[in-house]
Structures are given as C-alpha cells and as structure tokens.
Amino acid sequence: MEKENAYHKPVTLKNILSFAVPTIAMSLFMSFYTMVDGLFVSNLIGSSALSAINLTAPVIQLVTAVSTMLATGGSAVIMKKMGEGKRREAREDFTLLILVNVLAGAAMCALGYLITGRLFGAMDLSPEAAGYCVDYLSRYLLFTVPILLMNNFTLYMIASEKAGLSLLCTVAGGVLNIVLDYVFIAVCGLGIGGAAIATGLGYSVTAAAGLFVFSRKKSLLHFTRPALRPRVLLDAASNGCSEMATALVTGIVTMMFNWTMLRYVGEDGVAAVTIIMYVLMFASSLYTGYSYGVAPMLSYYWGERNHEKLKKLVSVSLRIILVISLTTAAFSYAATEPLVSIFARPDDPVYGLAVAGNRLCTLALLFIGFNIFASGMFTALSNGVVSAVLAFSRSFVFMLLTMLTLPALLGVAGVWLATPAAELMALALSAWMFFRYRGRYQY
C-alpha cells in the first residue's frame, strides 16, 4: 500500500521532486560512467583511445536499444495496470519482460562478437585506433546481460517507490567504476579494455541489487510465475519503440558525426566530437532523469483517469524543464574551456576544436529538455506511436537533414550547428503534437 499512497498524494513541487530528484541523480551518474571512461582514457592513454570510445558507441547503442524499449514501454504498461488495480497481472508481466531481456541480452552479446572484427576492419582507421575499438568493445560485450538488467531494474525500482535504493546502487556503481578505472588502467595496465571492464562491473551493481529486491514478496513489483501474453510484449514494444528508435538512431547519428569529422579533420575531430557529446549527454541526463521520474506518475494518473492531477503534473513539469534548460545552457557556454580541459590539454589540437564546437552546440540545450519530456510523456500515456514519431524525427530525420546540409555550407561549424538546428525543428513538432492531443488526455 505504500506505493499507492505515494501516488495518492497531492501533485506538488515537493512530491514531484521526490520522484524526480533520485532519477535525475541516477541519470547523471549513469552518464558519468561513460565520462569517467573518457577521462581516464584520454589522460592515461591518449586521444586515439578516446576516439575509439566514440567509434564503438553505435554498437553499444544497438546492444542497449531493445532493453531500453522493453524497460520504458514495459514500465508504462505495468504501471497502467497497477493504476487499474490489476496487480497480479502486472507482476506476471514484469517477470516475463525481465526474462525476455535476459534472452535478448544473450543473443545480442553473441551477435556483437560476430560483427566486431569485421566492423572496425572495414573503417578507414589507423591500426592503433582500430585496435583500441576492438579491445574496448570485446570487453564491454561480456556484460551485456547485466547492463540490460540494470536498465530495467533502474526504472522498476522507481515504479516500486525504491528510487532511493536505485540511486544508492547507481552511486555505488559509479564510485566502483571510478576506482576500477584507475586500478585497471593505471595500476594493472589493462589499457582501454580495463575501462570497459570497469564500466561493466559498475553497471552490474544495480543488476545484482535488482535481482535481490524483486525476489522479495514485500516489493510492490516482484518476481512471480510469468504468464505468456503476447499482447504485453507487443504493447511494451510499441510503447517503448520511440526510446528504442532514439537509441538506434543515436548510434547512426554518431556514425555520421564520426565520418564527417574524419573527412574534415581526421581522428582529432572524432575525439573533439566525443568531448562535446559528453557535455551534451551530461546535461541531457537531467531531462532524461526527470522524465523517467515522473513517467510512473503520468501512467498511474492516466490509468485511473485522474485528469486534474495529470494536468497539474504536466504544467509543473514544463516549468521545471524551462528552468533547467536556461541554467544548463548558460553554464555550458560559460564553462566551456574548463569542461574541455578535463579531457584535453590546451596544447592538444583536440582542445581548440572542442572549445569552438561546444560553444555552438550549447544552443541545443535550450530545446533538448522539452523534446525529451514530450516523447517520454506520450510513452507514459501509452501512445507509443506519437512518441516514436517525435523521437525518430528528432534523432534521425532532422539530424539527417542538418548533417547533410549545414557541413556542406559551413564546413566544421556546420557539424557543430547540426544538433541545435535539429533540436529546434524537433521542438516545433513536439509543440504541435502537445496541443493536438491535449483534448484526448486533458493535460
């Protein structure tokens, strides 16, 4: 009953933040995992190794895309059933989705090993960079199943009002990642492969904790005998397809960035892109964390048809995102040089490229938050089609348009402006969808 009472509380800023703050912190720490790898790799190994982390990102996005789909889409389906009072069905569906994730993780791990060598061998990379790519990805793939479980358990802990525990696990995993990065790279000399192992072990903390927590009957959601309902898998997939599309398309866009920078600048350009992506990813994690935090509330209120609470939650959320957007954009622009200097020394050619790029890319932070929230909101409201349209248009269609046109017109500056331009177009589409469906959901 503890979780139900939490959902029955008034929709106030304090109660919203009680859901959102832990998930924002978790999202920040999860983005910090990758940034820590880049920090140690760039300073202890070199910019070629830093480029390799970005070059492997598309494969990693492919590996996690299915899990992201089932986690976000499944959470919406399950919490809607909780709001409808169908608790037994929700727990059966929860167990089924976790089993599907385990099987999908094993399959994707095997597929990853099949394509790794061929993929980087076909790219126009120096032997050193190609070797770094293979070393990093081959170690990372060992942790595919724990990483997929971590993605799921993070959201389901939030839905079960265990956001504090999820935050604790994320922080513990982040600290473990930092410590092991130093031990494996600086002490043991495992190189870039050590960074991948450190990241995998950090992710495994939440996976292990989730297996323990959801084995206990006290939890609102817990493991039980699963019931095979194909409709549940279909609903989870359709609801979460936007998040899966975002993950897949992010990998494609990353490849486009890499190829464009290799063409204009070379491997130093890829390293600069990596640094800027870290900055954008860290800021974007604020919005992602907030959207994940309020998603169970949106799903629950929609399930019980409480339009008054739904309307207030959306209204307050938009104001919160506006404040975060203005703050992060101002900070990113003002702190560009200190942020870049964490990864590259001022005498490194990568430094100048990254400084110039970040000052232009910072404009995207004014729009990203609203686009992420809009897509997440429609997922939580079980409208996966609209969410998918928003996510696919933002992450692929608009990015493809800007990446094909702006670099051709403006050169390297066009590469940096592609993201802000795409996010601005996505904001217009998000606003249109928001007002179009306002009558249906009464938010």
What mean pLDDT comes out for the span 297-318?
Answer: 89
Give the span between the Cα atoms of 172 and 203, in whole angstroms.
9
Both tokens assigned to 401? 């348009």
pLDDT bracket for residue 1 (50, 70, 90): very low
C-alpha atoms less than 13 angstroms from C-alpha of 357 in its C-beta half-sphere: 32
pLDDT of residue 242: 64
Angstrom distance (rounded) from CA 331 to CA 324: 11
For residue 173, give the amino acid letter.
Answer: G
Question: Alpha-carbon dihedral of residues 370, 9, 27, 89, nearest 10 degrees?
Answer: -100
Q: Is the pTM of this model over 0.75?
A: no
DSSP string, 268-291: HHHHHHHHHHHHHHHHHHHHHHHH
pLDDT digits (tens, 9 = 90+) for 77-97: 887 787 777 888 888 888 898
Q: How far apart are CA 402 and CA 320, in angstroms?
A: 29
d(CA 263, CA 398): 21
> Above 90 in pLDDT, residue 240?
no
- CA 370 to mean position of chain CA atoms: 15
In angstroms, the CA 115 to CA 117 distance is 6
pLDDT of residue 243: 65
Residue 363 reports pLDDT greater than 90? yes
Q: Is the pLDDT of residue 385 over 80?
A: yes
Say whether pLDDT at 246 is over 70.
no
Indicate if the pLDDT at residue 5 is higher than 60: no
CB 123 within 8 A of CB 51: no
Query: Residue 442 above 90 pLDDT?
Result: no
Instruction: Say what the pLDDT of residue 33 is.
Output: 67
Q: Which ranges of 122-143 would DSSP assign to H, the alpha helix?
A: 127-140
Report the distance separating Cα 157 and Cα 214, nearest Å.
9
CB atoms within 10 A of CB 234: 12
Residue (of 288, 294, 281) closest to 25 by Cα position: 288
Query: In this structure, are residues 293 and 20 in contact, taking their beta carbons and an 8 Å threshold?
Result: yes
Q: What is the pLDDT of residues 172-212, one digit of tens each?
A: 988 898 899 999 998 998 989 999 999 899 989 999 999 99
Question: Does residue 415 contact residue 261 with C-beta atoms inside 8 Å?
Answer: yes
Three-class secondary structure of residue 381 per DSSP: coil
Tens of pLDDT, residue by residue over 411-424, are: 888 989 999 999 99
Residue 2's pLDDT is what?
A: 42
Q: At what angle do helices 230-264 and 368-380 cross, to 10 degrees?
A: 160
Angle at 361 between CA 356 and CA 362, to 5 degrees: 100
DSSP helix/strand/coil, 99: helix
Alpha-carbon dihedral 421, 424, 426, 431, rounded to 10 degrees: -170
